[in-house]
A and B are shown apart, each in its own frame.
Chain A
Amino acid sequence: MGRITLQGVRKAFGSHTVIHGADLDIADGSFVVFVGPSGCGKTTLLRLIAGLEDVTDGRILIDGSNVVGVAAAKRGLSMVFQSYALYPHMSVRGNIGFGLKMAGVARPEINRKVEAAAATLNLTPYLDRKPRELSGGQRQRVAIGRAIVREPKAFLFDEPLSNLDAALRVQMRLEITTLQKQLATTAIYVTHDQVEAMTMADRIVVLNAGRIEQFGSPLELYDRPDNLFVAGFIGSPRMNFIGKEMAKRYGAPTIGIRPEHLRAARDGEGWQGVVSVAEHLGSDTFLHVDVPEIGRLTARSVGELGLTTGDRVRLSPDPARIHRFDADGRAIRS
């Protein structure tokens, strides 16, 4: 079991408030990602749950009991750190088994569990190596092994993939999600990468400046962002925001339209503009178009349109996919 509930959790360092009252209910077995720009408080929130920082105010419940004031080790959580934080002088076996050793588990039992964890993570051939003799991906696996061997109520991941190269990151992303589904253990995962958030999460918590902006499934955030921040943060390339005269025609101070919902064509309906930059990815084309009276818009089209810099283009938004926001940046739902 690993249901984690935050009630009015606040954290201040001196007079500087980092988390302004967070309320969350994380269901048992779900994979929740905290995402936000750097300095938004996502790592602090994770460390508060872990017990590595003390909350200033509020309650953290794990399976219904308040753990505020309970030592980190006693909360039944395990953590994978950004730097992996492996113990450099211990073998892989020693690293994975350290938590069990500290808990006073008998040696044969430790060996059995460590070997089982190593087998799950394909680390068996490396059990007697030191961390410095391993590659980045293998170190990452050892850190995960150290977390799973204790059979925690929840895993906490603090940007665990940020030190890996792009290809390995995609692979480890998949491995972590698969493993989490297999074990059906609650996981909280911190990242600043919205692609990681979208691909891995059951539910995403979008944080900004110490506040939770929205909590929902990846598609909810994509289809129905609560506010301008979430709308701009989720999705790549970024949503286009249009203000002034053009927005008023749609009855809102600001409207947003995602690049993939702007149809680009050489002629026909829509806003007329000039292609400023065309990025050809093969599968997609990103067009950065200057439209008079609106500004720079990004459009994403599938395949190749044969448009390059300087070409005239017509952009027509999908009317059903226009997001409208009020003067405070909150979504207007009709």
Chain B
Amino acid sequence: MTAETRALGRLLLGPAVALLFVWMIVPLAMTIYFSTLHYNLLNPGMEQFVGLENYIYFLTDPAFLASLYNTLVLVGSVLVLTIVLGTLIALLLDQVVVGRSIVRLMVIAPFFVMPTVSALVWKNLLMHPVSGLFAWIATSLGLTPIDWFANAPLVAIILIVAWQWLPFATLILLTALQSLDEEQREAAEMDGAGPFSSFLYVTLPHLARPITVVILIETIFLLTVFAEIFVTTGGGPGLATTNIAFLIYAQALIQYDVGSASAGGMVAVVIANIVAFFLVRIVGRNLEA
């Protein structure tokens, strides 16, 4: 690498970096600007500077703590579900010899379904208390069907989102399993490790890094889950399924309060950074060579 190639590299990278920077910085700057205005879409042209009032309003709103709690529960539960089930399914698929590619395709399929579509399918075909599949199973067994979105709305959302992200976790973990050195497993076998010990001491440590990757990537997307909530519960009943992303939407487009929504957006950015900071501290060291 000579000085010349380095300079050329910087030059060629320049436009891309500049574009991405502008792409990021303009919306951010505008959001910060809006968050300091009293700006309601019902009263256009009446914008005035209010300082941090929007932030105080957003943070002291009881809906904020409720939605923060919902966000964390949603993210945490989906992570646990997808990683535990993903590991088990990956272990299973790793054993399958016949028709592995078909099975793999079927497992990955939910990932290609749009969130709105899958949420509608879950809402109307599976979890519907009258015409849903779960209700039919419950009545066939003589039980009372659960009205998922009325009685266990957050659980229902968690199930839907977990179903969508399970393929991602499974696929990453399956790929990792297939890269596990066969001789290591055999060495453990010679050392007298049974299937459980072998999993605990050989397979699981091997999966530490891909699990970290799954956690980091899923967290980024799970903090902003929106379509599933919008399509099914609309954040309700009450605030039962309102997460930060949905709360911001509600501020902006239901209450037409752009200022408060922008302040919420900034709060969400801060929360995402806090989460990222802790995640990297806790699991990120698995990523170091």
Q: Interface of A with B (CB < 8 Å)?
A: 50, 52, 72-74, 77-79, 81-83, 85-90, 98-99, 102-103, 146, 150
* B192 adjacent to chain A (CB < 8 Å): yes
**Chain B contact patch, size range:** 10 to 19
Q: Which residues of B contact A146 (CB under 8 A)?
A: 187, 191
* B94 adjacent to chain A (CB < 8 Å): no
Contact B202–A87 (Cβ < 8 Å): yes
A sample of 10 inter-chain contacts (CB < 8 A) reads A72-B186, A72-B190, A73-B191, A74-B192, A77-B190, A79-B190, A86-B187, A87-B188, A102-B191, A150-B191
Which of chain B's residues has its CB closest to A103's CB?
B192
Contact A52–B208 (Cβ < 8 Å): no
Known A73-B191, A73-B192, A83-B181; contact A98-B201, beta-carbon cutoff 8 A: yes
Q: With A and B bound together, what is the CA distance between A73 and B193 in angstroms?
A: 8
Q: Which residues of B contact A99 (CB under 8 A)?
A: 190-192
Q: With A and B bound together, what is the CA distance between A79 and B206 in angstroms?
A: 21
Q: Which residues of B contact A87 (CB under 8 A)?
A: 184, 187-188, 201-202, 205
Known A87-B202, A89-B205; contact A81-B191, beta-carbon cutoff 8 A: no
Which of chain A's residues has its CB closest to B183's CB?
A85
Candidates B183, B193, B208; contact of A83 at CB < 8 Å = B183
Contact B192–A52 (Cβ < 8 Å): no
Q: Which residues of B contact A79 (CB under 8 A)?
A: 186-187, 190
Which of chain A's residues has its CB closest to B286's CB?
A89
**Nearest CB on A from B192, distance (A):** 4
Within 8 A of A (CB), among B148-195: 181, 183-184, 186-193
Candidates B183, B190, B191, B201; contact of A82 at CB < 8 Å = B183
* B273 adjacent to chain A (CB < 8 Å): no
Contact B193–A81 (Cβ < 8 Å): no
Contact A89–B208 (Cβ < 8 Å): yes
Candidates B181, B183, B184, B189; contact of A73 at CB < 8 Å = B189
**Nearest CB on A from B210, distance (A):** 14
